[in-house]
Amino acid sequence: CSSGTRFPNGDGTDGEYVGFATLPNQVHRKSVKKGFDFTLMVAGESGLGKSTLVNSLFLTDMYRDRKLLNAEERITQTVEITKHVVDIEEKGVKLRLTIVDTPGFGDAVNNTECWKPVADYIDQQFEQYFRDESGLNRKNIQDNRVHCCIYFISPFGHGLRPLDVEFMRALHQRVNIVPVLAKADTLTPSEVERMKNKIREEIDHYGIRIYQFPECDSDEDEEFKLQDQALKESIPFAVIGSNTVVEAKGRRVRGRLYPWGIVEGNAMGGPVPAGTGTSRTPSPSCGPHAGGLGRGAGGAP
């Protein structure tokens, strides 16, 4: 028998059903009302398409007022941390997206310890949150902890570069690192495969602990499980970003227009020739594992 009770309204109609079966609905309504927070860090040397990928992923233009430094300014420049916040709404669900950028990373002639400002920033957010949680007013804590760090690996290196290894080693205990192979449209499919294998080997060899996507629930259907498996096997994701809309076979897509063909921006899988009808794979931050990402980061001190 049900423990729920119906409270009749004053006008005689049935009122709201009250009982624990409505809890999921309440959680759903509450989270819709409150919205979600997601803090994403992007790191990697300049020119690898970090801003472009963020814009492609969330279909926004986060860096409208960005000013690129010239070589002279970059000589004296140190790594700084910038924060861009944008409110995105999709089907009524709100997301407060914070992008933490690391301009200047790997840009200098001497890059010794250039991961340090990044590590310090992440630690500070944990500390701040810890202090806020120990305080009295725990209701309106602003959570600025970094959920995920997308690390961009140059497609031109013969595998990881020393700086890549140093960065990931210094930060893998602090944040969920998702390595991506940047600008994958500059590689042929066989080169992408070779590069991915090399990176996987080196990540293993150097004991770098990148983010492990959680197991998918056992009650998911077969197709989803296969897709999930394929996604996990394609780490590090090869990404192609674009902010320009081009026309390919009658469709308007975000892509890159080369004299020898059009490449469709693709947030995750291998390069996809435009107009072949291959569907976009889910983006890392909005995909099936977004919840997992948040949980992981929250737990680490």
Q: Where do contacts with a copy of itself occur on this chain (CB under 8 A)?
A: 45-49, 68, 70-72, 74-75, 107-112, 114, 154, 156-166, 183, 185-186, 188-189, 202, 205-206, 256-263, 271-274
Say what the alpha-carbon torsion angle 96, 135, 27, 146 is, to the nearest 10 degrees: 40
CB of 148 to a copy of itself, least distance (A): 23
- Are 99 and 82 in contact by the 8 Å Cβ rule? The answer is no
Residue closest to 104 by CA, chosen among 43, 154, 172: 43
By C-beta, is 253 or 290 nearer to a copy of itself? 253
Structure tokens at 236: 């590090």
C-alpha distance from residue 36 to each of 6, 39, 93, 101, 299 (Å): 32, 10, 8, 20, 17
Closest contact distance (angstroms) between CB of 76 and a copy of itself is 9
User: Which residues fall within 8 angstroms of residue 158, CB to CB, at 6 or more apart?
Assistant: 198
Query: Taking the complex as a whole, how short is the minimal distance between the CB of residue 244 and a copy of itself, in angstroms?
Result: 9
CA distances from 165 to 106, 115, 152, 179, 298 (A): 12, 11, 12, 11, 24
Cβ-based nearer residue to a copy of itself, 16 or 72:
72
Q: Report, in Å, the least distance between residue 70 CB and a copy of itself.
A: 6
Residue with tokens 């595998």: 159
Closer residue to a copy of itself in complex, CB, 28/205: 205
Closer to a copy of itself at the Cβ: 148 or 184? 184
For 146-197, give the DSSP string: --EEEEEE-TTSSS--HHHHHHHHHHTTTS-EEEEE--GGGS-HHHHHHHHH
70 or 279: CB nearest a copy of itself: 70
Minimal CA–CA distance to 178: which of 114, 242, 267?
A: 267
Least separation in angstroms between CB 198 and a copy of itself: 9
Closest to a copy of itself by CB, 20 or 156: 156
- Facing residues of 50 across strands? none
Nearer to a copy of itself, 174 or 183 (CB): 183
